[in-house]
Structure formats: structure tokens, C-alpha cells
Amino acid sequence: MFDAQCDLAALVYEPHQDPDAVLRSFAADLNARDFRVVGMVQAGQCADSSLSAVLLHSGEKLLLAQDFDPAAQGCRLDLARLQNAGARIADALVHGADLVIINRFGKRERDGKGLSYLIERALDADIPVVIAVGRDHFADWIKFAGGMSVKLRCDRDALDIWWHGISAGHAQPDLQSHATVCEILK
């Protein structure tokens, strides 16, 4: 079941879409409006040695690719660099956040590794989370999230509508209103 007021959202993208551009623009606009966005968005491509990510709370760009090896096949993600980026995001969360953005849900997160712990940490602190999820990983995402997620189109309007509902709910909690499914099952 999906609940439009759920604090956990999957920005579901097709292979031809660029969720990173959507998330970067969204984060920049929120930061400009004095919201504190923590997390990272992918920059560069996995197919070459430019795979990197931008830390949204500092603007710093971190290389995530392994040192170039022409014989390597597929994505050359350096897991130590990914974990370093995750540790920096976790450190930033100590200072609070209005939103956490995680660049991708993939096989590492599906297996409870990668940056999955940041999702749990943010939700435990009642901080909304949005993550890019490829259409081909969506079934794994649903299992990971226990069905407690909003499915968003990969466009800015969908993010803005979701954020408007979430941020309004976090700004002034109304104890007399009905709780959402996500809130009840937390």
C-alpha cells in the first residue's frame, strides 16, 4: 500500500531518465529556501572513471569510482569510497536535517549494505527520505521498504507535491488529525 504522506519516497526512473538532475535541482531549491538537505546525488557515470557524487549539505564532490582499470567490466564503484561518503552523511545528520536524499537504491542496498543504514537512521529520527530507484529494482525496493513507500514519477512536479505534503506535516503536527498508514506502522 502506498501513502502519499509517507516519509519515504522512491523516485522511480526509466533508463532514459536522469534522476540525478531532478534530485540536484530539488535539493538546490530546498537549500535556497533554508531547508537543510543532507545526502548525496550521483555525478558522472558508472561506465567510465568519472563516477562521483555531490554531498548536498556541503557541495563537495567525491570520487566514487575505483582507480581506472581498462580491463574492468561493468561498474567500478569503490566500496570504501562509498562507505566514506556514507560516514560523512551520517556525521552531517548529527546536526539535523529536513530531508535526506540518497542517490540510488541498488543491489548493495537491497542486501542491507551500501547506504541502506542511512535510510533507517533518517527515518528513526523522523527525517523524510527520497531515493532514486530504477524501474528494474522497484520490486526489490518494495521488499526493502516493507511496502511503506511512496512511488514518485521521475519528475520535479511529483517531488514538489510529495514534499509539500511532507513538509506541511512536519512543520505543525496536528494531534487531532488522522495518522497516515506510514505513521501507524512506524
What is the predicted pLDDT for the residue at 25? 95
What is the predicted pLDDT for the residue at 122? 93
Question: Does pTM top 0.95 for this prediction?
Answer: no
What is the predicted pLDDT for the residue at 155? 94
Q: Helix/strand/coil (H, E, C) string of 60-126? A: CEEECECCCCCCCCCCCECHHHHHHHHHHHHHHHCCCCCEEEEEEECHHHHCCCCCHHHHHHHHHCC
> Which residue stretches of the chain have pLDDT < 50?
1-4, 172-178, 181, 184
CA distances from 97 to 11, 56, 57, 89 (A): 19, 11, 9, 11
What is the predicted pLDDT for the residue at 111? 85
What is the predicted pLDDT for the residue at 74? 57
